[in-house]
Structure 1
Amino acid sequence: MNNKNKTSVSTLNHTTQQNEKFDVFKNVMFMSSVAGAAVVFGFGLTAARARKMDPAMFKSRLKGESGEVLESPSSLGLRALGWGSLFACSGFGFMIFGVCKILGVKSVEEFKLKFQSVAPQIKRNPDDSTSFDEITKEVLDEKT
């Protein structure tokens, strides 16, 4: 193989690796946006239900002992949601980071191989498995 072919093969491999990384990035961004949209939708739906159930309480202000106006319940809830989300996401991220550092893995494939070497294998016997059709048939037979 001459030098020109080696260069074109290495360039092709590099381009393929870049495309794979970009695909992974797109997948992560898509899943993150779906999760973010679900959080925003869920919180909005909950806030709308609370407002519909008790509009006066939703708009009321809390007063402290000296009479000063404190935060409204909705802003207090938003602040709690923000801090809770921050703690949950960062805590989970630190936990995953720690597990990966302890196990010495850098990818999901390495984690899978490491976990398979540590955890016992589950032996599956295909003859013992029950299909969904068999379960459905048993349930319907019991009802009649």
Structure 2
Amino acid sequence: MEQTITANRSAETDNASKEFKVKAAFFLAGVSGISAIAGFGMTVASAKKHDPKYFNRGMVPTREVPESGANLAMRALGWGTLYAVTGCGILFYSIWKLSGAQNFAEFRYKMGNLLPEIPKNCPPQGRTEFSGLNDLLDYLQHQRGSKDK
């Protein structure tokens, strides 16, 4: 009987935790999206206010400028994306092939042996909680000063 109650409680907490994580992810995505759109809009408005003649000139193709700024930017974004994806893909694929791994577990094992080990900090040797930014900066300055001596 106690095991079923415990199992039900743990299932409820898991569901609540997952629901909270989903809500948090939506919140962060919304805040990020809104801030990106607001930043872009303010930048465009600032550019238009700064020099409206040249701003309007780049919006519509003319004889002097055969391509609008938006088309040029989209073309540049497309080429930049192609170069970035291709370059990173070649780099990652070459590292994979040079390692000689056949699957991800083997690749992870080989890279774990090749790269230096990160030391464990358990239990933590220094302070881990600070009352504010000033407290953190004072602590870091004190730690740096004690290492210089």
Higher relative contact order (CA 8 A, sep 6+): 1
Q: TM-score, normalised by structure 1?
A: 0.49
